[in-house]
Structure 1
């Protein structure tokens, strides 16, 4: 918990720690057909890095900061059901959506070429 980074990927910001896995809706630079397991990824959009007592903040991103990881697998999340109904007009519409998701694990957080 002393070492973590805040990254921006898939339209959201995540707090990541080395050795943990996270689910992301999509990676902006990778297409779904290239998301096979054990594909190494580098994330350069690092907003903040905390290493024990020192905190480095980027404006907007840190230079020379990389989060290194690998993709575990791609999967589809649970179905979300959307039900629309107009009571006076007697119209109903029901449909669902399943979001594609990718699970990746963070191996290293590096700043200025040194692994934290």
Structure 2
């Protein structure tokens, strides 16, 4: 597809296209209990938009650029196990955690009030 945007969310940068879904950790300002299905979201931290032949680059973000989407569902990621051992001290420590994650689909990319793709 010729239209895509690079956004910053969850501490990482993603290349997103309309009509595709992505998994995001640490969704900005949303708690896991607020991430119900079909919750509409707007992402304002858009770093770059490519629309066919033209490229718009922000410094650091584009003004008047919005990526619109909705949450499909929230879930827990696979468990990460951390094991620490000091061989001479005979100490061992094992713990793990699962991070909250949300799957969202990009509905449209807007620049200066015009939707580039619906």
Q: TM-score range by the shorter chain?
A: over 0.9
> What is the RMSD computed on CA atoms of the aligned residues?
0.9
Which ranges in structure 2 are unaligned for 5 or more consecutive residues? none
Shift of the alpha carbon at 1:29?
Answer: 2.5
Shift of the alpha carbon at 1:12?
Answer: 1.2
1:22 is aligned to 2:8? no
Measured against aligned partners, the alpha-carbon deviations of 1:28-56 in whole angstroms (never above 9, x if no partner) come to 22222211110000111111000111000
Which ranges in structure 1 are unaligned for 5 or more consecutive residues? none
Matches within 5 A, 1:22-41: 22-41=22-41
Name the counterpart of 2:95: 95
1:69 is aligned to 2:69? yes
Give the match's secondary structure for 2:50.
Answer: strand
Measured against aligned partners, the alpha-carbon deviations of 1:44-85 in whole angstroms (never above 9, x if no partner) come to 111100011100001111111110000001000001111111
1:9 is aligned to 2:9? yes
Q: TM-score, normalised by structure 1?
A: 0.95
Q: TM-score, normalised by structure 2?
A: 0.94
